[in-house]
Chain A
Amino acid sequence: MSVVESTTKIYEGSRIPSPIPTVLQVDPAKHALDDILTINFGPNHPSTHGVLRLVVDLDGEHVAGIAAVIGYLHTGFEKTMEQKTWWKCITYPERIDYVSFQVNELAFVLAIEKLLAIEVPQKATWMRMLLSELTRVHSHLVWLGTSALELGAISMFWYTFDDRDATLDLFEMVCGTRMHTRYFQAGGLAEDIPEGFFDQAREWCKKMPKAIDEYEAILDRNAIWLKRTKGIGLLSADDAIALGQSGPVLRASGVNWDLRKNMPYLAYDEVSFDVPVYPEGDVYARYKVHMNEMRESVRIVSQCLDRLAEMRGEPWIADDRKVVLPPRHELHTSMESLIHHFKIVTEGYVVPEGEVYSCVESPRGEFGVYVVSDGGPKPWRVKFRAPSFVALQATATCMTDAAIADMIAVVGSLDGVMGEVDR
């Protein structure tokens, strides 16, 4: 199936507002000024997925104008990371998209490894893939729980968060902590995979598809859910590409584009999985894409478990002593190991001069990291290309001709995480 299918058009032409593509402006010809009520959504609002502020012009229930104000969570990641050594920097990207934390770490670590031109052992690659897919399921579960909660399907929150806790148990077992795991290093993984992990992960693989079926049983044919999501928030394929959308939003508009399949990284070309694509371009299509992606992620996790079971005893991190800490038992016997350990921990390793753009398929789309190194122990410039930053730009286009209740559905379906948007 080619990337952009010329199927039936979702709407004619382009709905991107003009002159400002991200702001829907009140049409002065159609509305007398005293009909318009300007209200403020957020930044503290239960349904805005964090600190998003939307300034909405209402004509009754109809949204005549919308503009997003962001920056309430601008943490200065990029500038702060310029002050830290490469190793210490790895803790920062996780907190950018705090729902899919390991994927952000992965993108940054891949960028460092590209610059270092270091070879990562197979075991680390497959484990990274497994954890990325677990993170994808975690992110989609949080998305489903909160989006359904906002549209009134309140019980979904408890169902999805229970399964989310089961997923976080797996993270805790491997990485030591539930969130912000900091398990990836430049060169591989921080530690070996514990033995009990495989059994518990297989239990999870058996349980998850049934759980996803349960969620669909609750929502798929629910009249209220269908009324609130079908035909809402339309985005055509051309508009989506022009607006830089990626991930589920793009795939729900009929574009068959997934970085894991089209530009594979890690070992995604060695596992078999499908990419769900829906042509309708509405909130319901995005919901279906998320649900099916969860199923595909479980498939990938099972395949990774099979492969990792054969790799017991293999190294989990590269052997380059200039970058990777030596194994602890060597510190007692080898002077060079002791010196390397000391230098890597105190001063940090250096990354050769260069610039790279490394991107991965995060649960929200294309998460990219642009790293510039001057050959020193600290990054010169780090820029995160956050998919939610771009997704929020599409709010104005999706909200053409919509009511205020639809705004909640649309903003939820674009799956924005404000930590990513503001960085």
Chain B
Amino acid sequence: MGYEAVPGLVETVAGHGETTLVVDAARIVEACTHLRDEQGFNFLSDLTPTDYLGWGGRGVSGYIGTRAGRDLHAPGTQGLARVPVPKPKRFAVNYHLLRLADDPVRVRVQAWLDDGEEIDTVVPVWPTADWFEREAWDMFGIVFRGHPNLARILMEDDWEGHPLRKDYPIGGEPVRFSGEE
């Protein structure tokens, strides 16, 4: 299956039986329209960003833990086996497409953004993107240019901050035990 004709295609990555098309963020609407009309991807399954701030920062494991140390009670301080492949920018917006037809195929379209960069909305291509993009704005702060109703959807309307960003704290409260002083 050839994806060479997709406008704005930067590279094609294959892994775990899945194909990822990395597309230039400025040409996302062209790429999506081409995929929908020329290659039959009529179904948008999912639209979701990922924040790669701090990717690989955990450090590679040495003989005992990482250079920053190791704590048995904090899983993960033993480090990674190898340095993960570095990412080009901070945010990746992933579009999971499906060709809902007699020969079904799934593909992932990925566009990379830095903090503050905007991307065009794909609501004119697939109306189902409406709430997905609102959630992306709410959770990550990514602005979708041209979205008809880019407002908070999961958090309160006056919430400050974008919870799923890696620099946003998990929140919650420290657990207190009875009998504590």
Contact = CB atoms under 8 A, between A and B. Distances in A.
A79 B128 CA distance: 24
Contacts of B8: none
B81 A350 contact: yes
A150 interface: no
Given A357-B18, A374-B58, A80 B170 contact: yes
Interface string A94-110: 00000000000000000
Nearest to A2: B102
A51 B61 CA distance: 45
B contact face: mostly helix, strand, loop, or mixed = loop
User: Which range holds the interface residue count of chain B?
Assistant: 35 or more
Contacts of A383: 46, 48, 50
Contacts of A16: 127
Given A78-B164, A242-B126, A374 B131 contact: no
Contacts of B56: 374
B174 interface: no
Contact of B76 (A19, A117, A370, A378): A378
Contact of B96 (A70, A115, A357, A390): A357
Interface stretch (B22-30, B37-45, B112-120): B37-45
Interface in A271-293: none
Nearest to A393: B131
Nearest to B149: A20
Given A381-B50, A383-B46, A422-B154, A255 B72 contact: no
B91 to A, nearest CB: 11
Nearest to A250: B100
A407 to B, nearest CB: 19
A357 B80 contact: no
A154 interface: no
A3 B45 contact: no
A375 B101 CA distance: 35
B104 A370 contact: no
B163 A241 contact: no
B49 to A, nearest CB: 9
A22 B130 contact: yes
Interface string A352-395: 01111101000000101010101111101101010001101100
Nearest to A348: B75
A155 interface: no
Contacts, number: 141
Contacts of A385: 45-46, 48, 96
A74 B152 CA distance: 12
Contacts of A244: 43-45, 126, 128
Given A242-B127, A244-B128, A263-B104, A19 B148 contact: yes
B126 A257 contact: no
B45 A70 contact: no
B165 to A, nearest CB: 9
Contact of A380 (B55, B101, B170): B55
Contact of B46 (A71, A85, A117, A370): A370
B43 A241 contact: yes
Contacts of B170: 79-80, 83
A191 B153 CA distance: 40
B70 to A, nearest CB: 10
B156 to A, nearest CB: 8
Given A74-B154, A374-B58, A242 B128 contact: yes
B123 interface: yes
A376 B58 contact: yes
A22 B131 contact: yes
B51 to A, nearest CB: 7
B46 A357 contact: yes
Contacts of B50: 372, 380-381, 383
B16 interface: yes
B54 to A, nearest CB: 9
B155 interface: yes
Contacts of B75: 85, 346-348, 377-378
Given A255-B100, A375-B81, 7 more contacts: A71-B152, A244-B45, A244-B126, A370-B48, A374-B80, A377-B75, A378-B76
5 contacts: A21-B127, A78-B164, A115-B16, A355-B108, A392-B131
Interface of B: 15-18, 20, 42-46, 48, 50-51, 55-56, 58, 72, 75-76, 78-82, 84-85, 94, 96, 100-102, 104, 106, 108, 123, 126-128, 130-131, 139, 148-149, 152-156, 163-164, 168, 170-171
